[in-house]
Amino acid sequence: MMHSSQTFTAFMTKVAIVHVAVLLLLVGASRSYGAADQQALSAEETYKLGERMYREGILPSGEPMQAFVSGDVPVSGTSFTCVSCHLRSGLGSIEGEVSTPPANGRILYLPREPYIKGYEHVPSYHNYAVYFPTRPAYTDDTLAELITSGVDPAGRSVIKAMPIYDLNDQDMAILIAYLKTLSAQPSPGVSDSEIKFATVIVEGTDPVAVASMLAPLEFGIARKNSLTTASSANDRVARMGYNMLGPDLLQKKFSLTRWVLKGPSSTWRSQLDAYYQAEPVFALLGGISAGDWEPVHRFCEENQIPDLLPIVDYPVISDHDWYTLYFSRGVRQEGESAARYLHGMYDLIKDRAIVQVSRDSREGRALADGFRATWADTGHPAAIDIVLKEGEQFSQQRLQQIITELKPAALIVWDDGAALEAFAGLPDMADRPGVILASGTFVGKALWTIPEQLRGLLSFTYPYRLPQDDIRFDALALKVLPGKKTSDYDQKIIRQSYITNELLGKALMDMRGEYYRDFFFDTIGMMPDAYYPLYERVGFGPGQRYASKGCFIVQLGKGENPQLERRSEWVTR
Amino acid sequence: MMVQRLTRMPRIFTILLAILLMAGSDAGASKYKRSIENVVIPDVVLVNQQGEKVRLKSLLESDQPVLVDFIYATCTTICPILSAGFANFQRELGPETKNARLVSITIDPENDTPAAMKEYLERYQAQPGWDFLTGSRQDVDRVMKAFNAYFRSKMDHQPLSFIRSQEDGKWIRLYGLMSSSDLMKEFQQRGGK
């Protein structure tokens, strides 16, 4: 194996000296990368091995792939590999001025024109092809040559941005076989005339919440479908629709089915399987649950069905799962940000105690877990944990006892609004903790009723843009509720679903007719951060799965109609 | 090592051919733009991959030469190449690695936690002397602006590296995906030498 510290020049010189004579004899030898080379492997094994090269940079032998970038920089496949640049779908990426073309067989084995066929006249279409010169179609041989030497079939060198790889014939055959499977067959749920979506609703969820999740999605879909209908009758509409959406997306109607899950969450999986079997959809949009979501997440993972932004408090937290994009890390995220915030002021806390009081409920546990994990990550000894059992009130006496016995420098209370009563006597207490933190969302409406003398003493995690700053998005939210009263809806959920609708539209327009599930999320991963309602910043980045990643620390301001006031910048975990 | 099997050779030959052809054209040569900048480092405190607070001014205005780039952990194409360049730079300096300080600053502070940055550096087999820094969005924005490298969104990202000479405190700004030898050449020529 090539040692990675070896420079490219040294490698080439050695190759040249030892082998030039032999090479000259072999120039005419022909090679093939067809299935014949891999008799020993089943199609499934070949696929898995190819996927491992493409996604993890590991050769079938288990060794890392070896590459050179920018002509002479040696790099191991475990630092990065094909997927880092060509993305999961193989359909490429665009970042700033650097564009990476598709690397899937279907597109490689066609000549590249300056335009994507069928989209020559669609101004809104994102066209990677303009960044690259034309080239003839690849064959197995010229593709292998590109990968090992960086010369494309037009004779152009691509080594400035594309690494070259040291692969033997068998490994090359496996890799090429994998490239041929990438984004090869259109994903289920898409036909010439339709794209099918579904949304998962857990029965028993607050009907206002459900209606608020559905309204923006249904509005978006109805608007799209009426454009399609109108354009078949009216030339001007047709031209406008064509310019905006291209011929293909314009003619497709969208549908959204509701998949309602009943009963205990242990039975959801079979319900989901049945729904899916009856109607294979391209993707899930939104979805809503006040509690569990894990079975839906697993269903999507195993069937490779994207779910765009379900409205849930308890998302599955994972570094490697792919098929669900969440708004945030859920309730837990406030606990994580609280830990990060305290870490930032650790100079004030030093060796003094930190006490975390948490309600023994799903919400309390999620917050406490988030805090604990991030607090440990930042290298601090564990906080003192106090758990409030069901029915146990966080009282003034309990607070007094904690302060007297433990003298904490910081006190965190993960409980609902009723716990705020414990703080009534706080202004007069000796040895008050320097920081008292609670969750703005768990405390809920009680946040707005905190008496004046306590407002400067209690701080809250708040995972959204402050309400007074979000007012400017009210008009947008209204747009998706034509003829309806906004007050009939949940303001937070309307805003969330508004974002889902926006991202869906933008993604489909950027996908240039390539309806592949992996490309759907690759495309969203490449979108610039955007300023949307509710969240300070919504951005994914390739492979990222939680759009909004932090909190503000806030206090309630003074006066009769107080506003929330920021006590921190946006604190991430 | 390497060529054990004869069947591989024709391809190796094409590499040679490619190198020969490239010598005559600029097709594969790394083209980059170079300029000299005065950078006023803002006095911000950032956080490194160990979760330690780092005063950026003290880190950058040291008596060692410093290389800076702007990357993020999940970035495509640009960052892999910049980081492979940094990793190789450290390898080429070998034991002298401690004589140069490499600093990567994230442009995606929301996602790049110390843990994510640590994992990233490990992936590139970074040696001590290469730090990856994050901070609040405001502080990171100030740093990007000071370097005239402000990206409104991480998706507007551009390939930029900077080299500071400890002698005159000036920064060489390098725009483009650079080969290892060009980076080394620029490093050795810093301070007008």
- Of A119 and A204, the structure prediction assigns the larger pLDDT to A204
Predicted confidence (pLDDT) per residue in A478-494, tens digit: 788 888 888 899 999 99
Q: How far is A318 from chain B (nearest CA, A)?
A: 13
Supply A347's token pair: 């100079």
Q: CB of A265 within 8 Å of any CB in chain B?
A: no
Distance CA(A86)–CA(A281), nearest Å, equals 26
Nearest CA in chain A to B27: A157
Which contiguous run of DSSP H or E holds residue A436?
strand A435-439
- Write out the DSSP string of B81-126: HHHHHHHHHHHHHGGGGGGSEEEEEES-TTT--HHHHHHHHHHTTP
pLDDT surpassing 80 at residue A22: no
* Model pLDDT for residues A70-85, shown as the tens digit of each residue: 777 889 999 999 999 9
Whether residues A16 and B2 touch (CB distance < 8 A) is answered with no
A532 CB neighbours in chain B (<8 A) are: none
Domain range for A397 is 331-462+553-572
Residues A218 and A123 in one domain: no
Minimum-distance CB partner of B18 among A15, A157, A528: A157
**Interchain CB contacts (distance < 8 Å): A and B:** 214
Residues A88 and A82 sit within 8 Å (Cβ to Cβ):
no
For residue A363, the domain's CATH number is 3.40.50.2300
- What's the pLDDT at B46? 95
pLDDT for res B26: 37
Q: Quick one: A69 and A123 in the same domain?
A: yes
* The pLDDT of residue B3 is above 60: no
pLDDT digits (tens, 9 = 90+) for A200-214: 999 999 999 999 999
User: pTM for this one?
Assistant: 0.89
The answer to whether the Cβ–Cβ distance between A149 and B11 falls below 8 Å is yes
pLDDT score recorded for residue B6: 33
pLDDT tens-digit map of A389-403: 999 999 999 999 999
Identify all chain A residues contacting B28, using CB atoms and an 8 Å cutoff: 71, 150, 157-160
pLDDT computed for residue A126 by the predictor: 63
pLDDT at residue B185 tops 60:
yes
In a domain, A97, yes or no: yes
- Which of A346-350, A541-545, B123-127 shows the lowest per-residue confidence on average (mean pLDDT)? A346-350
d(CA A541, CA A531): 15
pLDDT above 60 for A15: no
A524 to chain B: closest CA residue:
B155
Judge whether A186 lies within some domain: no
A106 vs A350, higher pLDDT: A106
- What digits encode the pLDDT tens for the residues B17-56? 333 333 333 334 457 899 998 999 999 999 999 988 999 9
**Does A132 lie in the same domain as A29?**
yes
User: B-contacting residues of A 24-83, CB under 8 Å?
Assistant: 26-27, 29, 31, 69-76, 78-80
Q: Are residues A302 and A400 in the same domain?
A: no
> In this structure, is residue A548 part of a structural domain?
no
As a whole number of angstroms, the distance between CA A307 and CA A88 comes to 16
- Report which listed range, A425-434, A473-482, B153-162, is most confident: A425-434
Q: Is there a contact between A93 and B77 if contact means CB atoms under 8 Å apart?
A: yes
Asked if residue A25 and residue A106 are part of one domain, the reply reads yes
**For position B154, what pLDDT does the model report?**
80
Here the ipTM equals 0.86
> Which residues on B lie below 8 Å from A37 (Cβ)?
none
B-facing residues of A in 338-377 (CB < 8 A) are 343, 377
Cross-chain Cβ contact B8/A570 below 8 Å: no
Chain B partners of A157 at a C-beta cutoff of 8 Å? 18, 21-22, 27-28
Mean per-residue pLDDT for A285-289?
Answer: 98
In a shared domain, residues A17 and A162:
yes
- Establish if A59 belongs to a structural domain: yes
- Among A153, A181, A209, identify where a domain stops: A181
Give yes or no for residue A36 having a pLDDT over 60: no
Q: Are residues A372 and A298 in the same domain?
A: no
Query: Does the pLDDT value for residue A346 go beyond 90?
Result: no
Fold for the domain defined by B2-22+32-189:
Glutaredoxin (3.40.30)
Query: Bigger pLDDT: A404 or A378?
Result: A404
> Within the 386-425 window of chain A, which residues sit less than 8 Å (CB to CB) from chain B?
none
Nearest in space to A353 (alpha carbons), one of A407, A434, A276, A279? A407
How many domains, in total, are found in chain A?
3
DSSP string, A64-111: BPEEEETTTEEEETTT--HHHHH-TTSS-EEETTEEE---SHHHHTSP
Task: Give how far Cα A530 sits from Cα of A302, A413, A549, B121, B155, Å.
Answer: 30, 33, 14, 28, 11
pLDDT band at B1 (very low <50, low <70, confident <90, very high): very low
Residue B163 has pLDDT above 80, yes or no: yes
Domain end marker among A152, A181, A210: A181
Give the span between the Cα atoms of B165 and B172, in whole angstroms.
8
| Among A13, A17, A56, A73, the residue to mutate for chain B (most B Cβ within 10 A) | A73
Least confident of A7-21, A210-224, A433-447, B170-184: A7-21
Of all residues in chain A, the percent with pLDDT exceeding 90 is 72
Q: Which of B20, B44, B77 to mutate to test the interface with A (most CBs of A within 10 A)?
A: B77
Cβ within 8 Å, pair B180-A29: no
Q: Are A303 and A415 found together in one domain?
A: no
**Site from A32, A55, A70 to mutate, B interface, most B CB atoms within 10 angstroms:** A70
Residues A307-318: tens digit of each pLDDT? 999 999 999 999
Neighbours of A66 (CB within 10 A): 23
**How many angstroms away from the CA of B40 is the closest CA of chain A?**
23
Between A109-118, A153-162, A204-213, the lowest mean confidence (pLDDT) is in A109-118
Cβ contact, residue pair B75, A95, below 8 Å: yes
pLDDT of residue B77: 86
How much is the pLDDT for B21?
36
**Percentage of residues in chain A having pLDDT higher than 70:** 92
Q: Do B177 and A70 touch (CB under 8 A)?
A: yes
Q: Is A131 on the interface with B (CB under 8 A)?
A: no
What band does B191 get if pLDDT is binned at 50, 70 and 90?
low
The number of helices, as runs of H, and strands, as runs of E, in chain B is 6, 8
Whether residue B15 and residue A161 make contact (CB cut-off 8 A), yes or no, is: no
Residue in chain B lying closest to A67 (CA): B84
Whole-angstrom CA distances from A139 to A106, A108, A143, A206 are 11, 8, 6, 57
**DSSP H helix total and E strand total for chain A:** 20, 20
pLDDT at B98 (0 to 100): 76
A264 with A341, same domain? no
Which of these ranges, A118-132, A141-155, A364-378, has the smallest mean pLDDT? Answer: A118-132
Distance from CA of A174 to the nearest CA of B (A): 15
User: What average pLDDT does the segment A119-134 reach?
Assistant: 75
Strands A288-289 and A311-312, by their bridges, are parallel
Q: What is the mean pLDDT of residues A410-425?
A: 97
Q: Give the residue extent of every domain in chain B.
A: 2-22+32-189
Mean pLDDT score across all residues of chain A? 89
B111–A549 CB contact, under 8 Å = yes
Residue type, A165: Y
**Mean pLDDT, chain B, integer:** 82
A84 in contact with B at a CB cutoff of 8 Å?
A: yes
Reported as a pLDDT band with limits 50, 70 and 90, residue B171 is: very high
Asked if residues A137 and A154 have their Cβ atoms less than 8 Å apart, the reply is no
> For position A123, what pLDDT does the model report?
66
In a shared domain, residues A323 and A339: no
Residues A11 and A145 in one domain: yes
Q: Give the residue-averaged pLDDT of B93-121.
A: 91
CA distance B38 to chain A (A): 25
* Gap between the Cα atoms of A343 and A320, Å rounded: 27
Minimum mean pLDDT range among A14-18, A257-261, A429-433, B135-139:
A14-18
A474 and A458 co-located in one domain: no
Range in A297-306, A316-325, B12-21 with the lowest mean pLDDT? B12-21
Average pLDDT over residues B130-158: 90
Nearest residue of chain A to residue B5 (CA atoms): A168
Residue A193 pLDDT: 94
Return the HEC string of A177-192. Answer: HHHHHCCCCCCCCECC
pLDDT higher than 80, residue A3: no
